[in-house]
């Protein structure tokens, strides 16, 4: 299968959005592969972390959107610690997750109106944050 | 009877571990004529050399054998030492008992020891027949001829002229500056090249010690180091540049329109033209091959075209001018012949030479030049539209041993990065793709320059060789692979720029033959030694600089050019040249004048004496290689101090020993 690469993709909205949310410049990456070499979760990934960045460089939005790697990423930040060019891939992965959650009909686990004022006073903050963490419909 | 001395070196354990040096000394002392024999741990050290000197003085030695490493290492050391105490240096010989004995017989001490003695014995027999020799002095003409007026030739010439020597530059084109004149900007600091170059060109033109021959080539070269005679053939300009005011009326009337070579075919020019249309410094010339006056182009009234002659108010044009031959006598030559761009037509799969919007890197440089055909605007040659997507293809013709050039052209990685960055600076909503196999950015600030291109200009580097480029509608489709993502890619491009390989300038093969300079398999001029003699050619007195020797960037070219200047100044620091006397010699009564040696000599050192009808040796040129001695059918030549008599005696020594064993 031939992959079409065009200016519209390379400078497309999706990659611009990922760059904006993550604050990272994919073009800093020179594809050495050190992130993929050190990643502890790579066995469960369908795309290597370096491949995710490569696809973003080429503007291949669909491939990146549909990859499992962003969900496998444990945000351990090993990649960021080792990257010789200072690219924070865990931020990129987070940006991909955020975009995915924004795009699909994702719901928060809780609805704050379900709880009483009294309960909300007592509920631990971290539990509330976890409750707001969205999940994807299957 | 000669009084001989033998000095055996241990070379630490290199020799002493497998050769019993004490035993060798005992044996050597018994040999015919030996009056002194000793051994020492490092004979080449100062105290070791002192031992040799002392023995020569005290025992009055008139022949010395030092048994040590290869003569390549220390023959000079010991000969110099011997010379200091009054022994003719050529009466000292090295017996190589390291490379040819101890190292090859490391596990067999008796054999190594016996062999060392044989080698010494044979060398002693050679020394006995050695003649004391004096070095040869050769007159030296302290003028230089620089072949090629590109940046290498210019820098070499300026440095030599500033050092006080007269320099002659021979330039094939009608203007000096070479390819650098076509390039817009340097990497990695984005400096404007035309300004830098023009400053140097002005210096050359104003220099009292530099003479420039434009539109000229080397017709013939005679002579040898220190004493060359260069015959220079000059094509006429047909325009008297003393009269010409550069008004340009002749350009307007010339009916001819041909692609402008300087602009890589991106614009047209007449038969009378400025070589570099953008340079107000240049005056018009006529290219004979394009001019209707010289072709069959008769006008309707039956007369030959001379519209430019009629248009010229200054009467500066003379169509009757003929080519001229001039001679220059020089002592050294710099070959700065430069390169040609490997033609894109060699890459039909990329549409090279066929698709107007597939251009080479040098053409792209012309687009970037503010005085170039587009005034510095990057546009498509086909329709003048600004390209929004440009694919740069590196290694176009390079690194392809099967079909094109096996070598790396060295400058392309960097100039492609530079061009892509300049493109992005001009067309900021455009996308630049760079197809590469490796990025070779191996000099100061080069890697940073490339990385900056990726980071700041977002250049899309795609690792893989492009398979093909073809037009679809009014765009180009580029099929390639990205080996990093493992994908086959199809890229839409408005413009494709091929970073074509550099190849040696056309005609260099013939020139090298005239100069007696060897060339490599690719046609580049070869140096004597890539590490230690990088600018010396195979002919003494001929030096190499720039891309004629191998592809390189401006930095390396200039370094090399200045190196040639340094080497020549070293040579010119003496009033005469000194040559080694270990060269070929002719027995005049034996030579039949067959001339075989003249053809065989790789240095052009054998010459026929037309009066005596025998082949003579040019002492200044002969390197003592011995090729003529092997080739001579009637043994009329000999290598001084390496005569066949001496060698037969040495072989006898060895075979005698072998029979005894």
What is the three-class DSSP state of A45?
coil
CB contact, 8 Å: B482 with chain A?
yes
Q: What are the tens digits of pLDDT across the range A68-86?
A: 999 999 889 999 999 999 9
Between B273 and B656, the more confident residue is: B273
Confidence of residue A1 (pLDDT cuts 50, 70, 90): confident
Q: Which of B446, B485, B495 to mutate to test the interface with A (most CBs of A within 10 A)?
A: B485
Q: Give domain status of residue B654, yes or no.
A: no
pLDDT higher than 90, residue B244: yes
The pLDDT of residue B298 is 59
Same domain, B544 and B584: no
pLDDT higher than 60, residue B297: no
What mean pLDDT do residues B476-484 have? Answer: 94
B294: CATH: 3.30.70
Chain-chain contact of A6 with B491 (C-beta, under 8 angstroms): yes
What mean pLDDT do residues B61-71 have? Answer: 95
Beta strands in A1-138 (DSSP E): 2-5, 107-108, 134-135
Number of A/B CB contacts below 8 angstroms equals: 64
Q: Give domain status of residue B498, yes or no.
A: yes
CB contact, 8 Å: B455 with chain A?
yes
Same domain, B453 and B551: no
Interface of A with B (CB under 8 A): 1-7, 10-11, 25, 27-28, 30-31, 50-51, 54-55, 57-58, 60, 85
Same domain, B242 and B221: no
Q: Give domain status of residue B647, yes or no.
A: no
**Do residues B108 and B66 lie in contact, with contact meaning Cβ atoms separated by under 8 Å?**
no
What is the three-class DSSP state of B494?
coil
Range with the poorest average pLDDT among B531-535, B551-555, B652-656:
B652-656
The pLDDT of residue B590 is 93
pLDDT higher than 70, residue B301: no
Q: Which of A5, A34, A35 to mutate to test the interface with B (most CBs of B within 10 A)?
A: A5
Q: Nearest to residue B159, comparing CAs of B171, B144, B172, B180?
A: B144
Residues of chain B positioned with their CB less than 8 A from the CB of A60: 485, 487
The DSSP bridge pattern shows strands B268-269 and B258-259 to be antiparallel
- Given B572, B596, B630, the domain boundary residue is B572
Same domain, B394 and B462: yes
Q: Nearest to residue B188, comparing CAs of B453, B385, B394, B539?
A: B453
pLDDT higher than 90, residue B163: yes
The DSSP bridge pattern shows strands B502-504 and B339-341 to be antiparallel
DSSP secondary structure, B263-321, as one string: TTTSSEE-SEE-SSTT-TT---EE-TTT-TTTSS-B-TTSPBP-HHHHH-TT--B-TT-
Same domain, B204 and B247: no
pLDDT higher than 80, residue A104: no
Residues of chain A positioned with their CB less than 8 A from the CB of B493: none
HSE of B641, CA atoms in CB hemisphere, 13 A = 20
The pLDDT of residue A137 is 65
**Do residues B487 and B369 lie in contact, with contact meaning Cβ atoms separated by under 8 Å?**
no
CA B162 from chain centre, in angstroms, equals: 23
Maximum alpha-carbon separation in chain A:
60
Same domain, B309 and B330: no
**Exposed (0-12), middle (13-18) or buried (19+): which is B86, by Cβ within 10 Å?**
exposed
Confidence of residue A105 (pLDDT cuts 50, 70, 90): confident
Q: Give domain status of residue B656, yes or no.
A: no
pLDDT higher than 90, residue B216: yes
DSSP label of B328: E
Confidence of residue A112 (pLDDT cuts 50, 70, 90): confident
Dist. CA A92–CA A39, nearest whole Å:
14
Same domain, B461 and B348: yes
What mean pLDDT do residues A77-100 have? Answer: 93
Q: Give domain status of residue B313, yes or no.
A: yes
Please give the structure tokens belonging to residue A24.
């990272």
Dist. CA B211–CA B203, nearest whole Å:
12
Residues of chain A positioned with their CB less than 8 A from the CB of B488: 1-3
B621: CATH: 3.30.70.20
pLDDT higher than 80, residue B31: yes
The set of residues, in sequence order, having a beta carbon less than 8 Å from that of A106 and lying 6+ positions away, is: A100, A134, A135, A136, A137
Same domain, B28 and B86: yes
The pLDDT of residue B296 is 66
Residues of chain A with CATH 1.10.1060.10: 7-103
DSSP secondary structure, B352-410, as one string: TTTSTTEEEHHHHHHHH-TTSTTTT----TTT-PPPSEEEEEEEESSS-TTTS--S--S
pLDDT higher than 60, residue A138: no
Distance to chain A for B261, nearest Cα, Å: 33
Dist. CA B531–CA A3, nearest whole Å:
47
Dist. CA B175–CA A45, nearest whole Å:
62
CB contact, 8 Å: B435 with chain A?
no
The set of residues, in sequence order, having a beta carbon less than 8 Å from that of B445 and lying 6+ positions away, is: B188, B189
List beta partners, residue B606: B617
HSE of A18, CA atoms in CB hemisphere, 13 A = 31
Distance to chain A for B455, nearest Cα, Å: 5
Q: Give domain status of residue B424, yes or no.
A: yes
B169: CATH: 3.50.50.60
What mean pLDDT do residues B93-105 have? Answer: 95
Q: What are the tens digits of pLDDT across the range B366-396?
A: 999 999 999 999 999 999 999 999 999 999 9
**Do residues B286 and B246 lie in contact, with contact meaning Cβ atoms separated by under 8 Å?**
no
Residue bearing tokens 């100044």: B569
DSSP label of B257: -
Q: What are the tens digits of pLDDT across the range A13-46?
A: 999 999 999 999 999 999 999 999 999 999 999 9
Q: Nearest to residue A59, comparing CAs of B388, B470, B489?
A: B489
Q: What are the tens digits of pLDDT across the range A43-63?
A: 999 999 999 999 999 999 999
What is the three-class DSSP state of B500?
strand
pLDDT higher than 90, residue B179: yes
pLDDT higher than 70, residue B351: yes
Of all residues in chain B, what percent carry a pLDDT higher than 70?
98
pLDDT higher than 80, residue B71: yes
Same domain, B546 and B467: no
The pLDDT of residue B97 is 96
What mean pLDDT do residues B262-273 have? Answer: 95
Same domain, B568 and B474: no
Domain A7-103 grouped into CATH 1.10.357.140 = no
Chain-chain contact of B490 with A1 (C-beta, under 8 angstroms): no
Q: Give domain status of residue B291, yes or no.
A: yes
Same domain, B369 and B491: yes
Domain that holds residue B631: 580-640
The pLDDT of residue B105 is 94
Same domain, B75 and B114: yes
Domain count, chain B: 5
Please give the structure tokens belonging to residue B622.
């002969």
Q: Give domain status of residue B508, yes or no.
A: no
The DSSP bridge pattern shows strands A134-135 and A107-108 to be antiparallel
The mean pLDDT value of chain B amounts to 94
Q: What are the tens digits of pLDDT across the range B631-660?
A: 999 899 999 999 999 999 999 988 887 777
Q: In angstroms, what CA-CA distances link B507 with A119, A134, B365, B405?
A: 92, 73, 25, 18
What mean pLDDT do residues B325-337 have? Answer: 97
State whether ipTM is beyond 0.90.
Answer: no
The pLDDT of residue B454 is 95
CB contact, 8 Å: B488 with chain A?
yes
The CA angle B518-B524-B529, to the nearest 5 degrees, is: 60
């Amino acid at each position: 299968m031939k992959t079409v690469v065009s200016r519209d993709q390379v400078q497309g909205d999706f990659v611009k959005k990922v760059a904006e949310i993550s604050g990272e410049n994919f073009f800093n990456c020179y594809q050495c592969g050190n992130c993929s070499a050190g990643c502890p979760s790579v066995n469960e990934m369908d795309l290597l972390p370096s491949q995710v960045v490569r696809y973003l460089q080429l503007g291949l939005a669909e491939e990146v959107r549909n990859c499992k790697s962003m969900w496998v990423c444990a945000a351990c930040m090993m990649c960021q610690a080792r990257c010789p060019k200072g690219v924070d891939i865990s931020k990129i992965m987070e940006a991909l997750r955020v975009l995915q959650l924004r795009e699909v009909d994702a719901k928060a686990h809780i609805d704050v109106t379900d709880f009483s004022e009294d309960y909300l006073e007592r509920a631990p903050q971290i539990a509330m944050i976890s409750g707001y963490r969205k999940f994807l419909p299957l | 009877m000669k009084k001989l001395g033998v000095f055996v070196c241990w070379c630490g354990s290199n020799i002493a571990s497998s050769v019993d040096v004490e035993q060798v000394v005992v044996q050597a002392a018994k040999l015919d004529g030996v009056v002194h024999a000793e051994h020492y741990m490092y004979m080449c050290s100062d105290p070791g050399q002192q031992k040799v000197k002392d023995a020569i003085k005290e025992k009055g030695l008139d022949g010395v054998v030092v048994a040590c490493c290869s003569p390549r290492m220390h023959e000079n050391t010991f000969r110099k030492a011997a010379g200091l105490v009054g022994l003719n240096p050529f009466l000292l010989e090295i017996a190589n008992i390291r490379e040819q004995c101890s190292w090859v017989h490391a596990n067999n001490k008796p054999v190594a020891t016996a062999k060392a003695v044989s080698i010494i014995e044979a060398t002693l027999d050679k020394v006995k027949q050695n003649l004391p020799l004096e070095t040869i002095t050769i007159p030296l003409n302290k003028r230089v001829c620089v072949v090629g007026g590109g940046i290498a030739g210019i820098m070499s010439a300026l440095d030599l002229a500033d050092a006080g020597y007269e320099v002659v530059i021979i330039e094939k084109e009608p203007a000096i500056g070479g390819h650098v004149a076509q390039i817009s900007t340097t990497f990695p600091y984005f400096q404007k090249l035309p300004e830098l170059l023009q400053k140097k060109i002005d210096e050359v033109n104003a220099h009292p010690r530099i003479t420039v021959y434009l539109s000229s080539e080397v017709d013939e070269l005679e002579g040898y180091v220190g004493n060359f005679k260069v015959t220079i053939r000059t094509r006429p300009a047909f325009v008297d540049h003393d009269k010409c005011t550069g008004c340009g009326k002749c350009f307007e009337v010339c009916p001819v329109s041909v692609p402008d070579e300087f602009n890589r075919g991106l614009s047209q020019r007449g038969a009378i033209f400025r070589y570099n249309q953008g340079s107000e410094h240049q005056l018009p010339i006529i290219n004979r091959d394009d001019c209707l006056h010289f072709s069959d182009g008769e006008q309707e009234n039956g007369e030959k075209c001379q519209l430019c002659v009629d248009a010229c108010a200054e009467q500066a044009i003379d169509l009757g001018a003929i080519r001229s031959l001039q001679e220059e006598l020089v002592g050294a030559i710099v070959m700065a012949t430069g390169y040609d761009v490997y033609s894109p037509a060699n890459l039909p799969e990329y549409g090279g030479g066929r698709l107007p919007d597939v251009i080479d890197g040098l053409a792209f440089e012309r687009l970037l030049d503010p005085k170039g055909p587009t005034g510095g605007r990057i546009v498509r040659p086909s329709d003048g539209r600004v390209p929004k997507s440009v694919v740069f293809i590196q290694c176009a013709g390079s690194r392809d041993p099967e079909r094109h050039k096996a070598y790396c052209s060295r400058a392309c990685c960097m100039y492609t990065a530079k061009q892509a960055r300049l493109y992005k600076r001009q067309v900021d909503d455009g996308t630049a793709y760079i197809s590469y196999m490796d990025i070779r950015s191996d000099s100061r600030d080069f890697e940073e320059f490339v990385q900056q291109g990726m980071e700041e200009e977002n250049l899309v580097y795609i690792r893989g060789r492009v398979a093909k480029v073809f037009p679809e509608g009014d765009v180009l489709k580029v099929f390639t692979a990205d080996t990093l993502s493992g994908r086959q890619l199809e890229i839409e491009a408005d413009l494709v720029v091929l970073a074509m390989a550099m190849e040696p300038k056309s005609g260099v093969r013939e020139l090298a033959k005239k100069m007696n300079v060897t060339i490599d398999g690719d046609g580049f001029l070869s140096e004597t030694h890539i590490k230690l003699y990088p600018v010396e050619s195979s002919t003494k007195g001929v030096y190499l600089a720039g891309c004629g020797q191998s592809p390189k960037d401006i930095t390396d070219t200039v370094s090399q050019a200045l190196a040639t200047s340094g080497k020549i100044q070293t040579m010119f620091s003496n009033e005469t040249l000194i040559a080694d006397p270990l060269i070929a010699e002719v027995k005049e009564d034996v030579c039949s004048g067959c001339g075989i040696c003249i053809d065989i000599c790789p240095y052009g050192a054998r010459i026929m004496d037309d009066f005596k009808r025998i082949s003579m040796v040019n002492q200044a040129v002969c390197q003592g290689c011995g090729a003529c001695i092997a080739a001579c059918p009637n043994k009329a030549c000999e290598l001084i101090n390496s005569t066949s008599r001496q060698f037969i005696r040495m072989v006898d020594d060895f075979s005698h020993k072998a029979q005894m064993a």
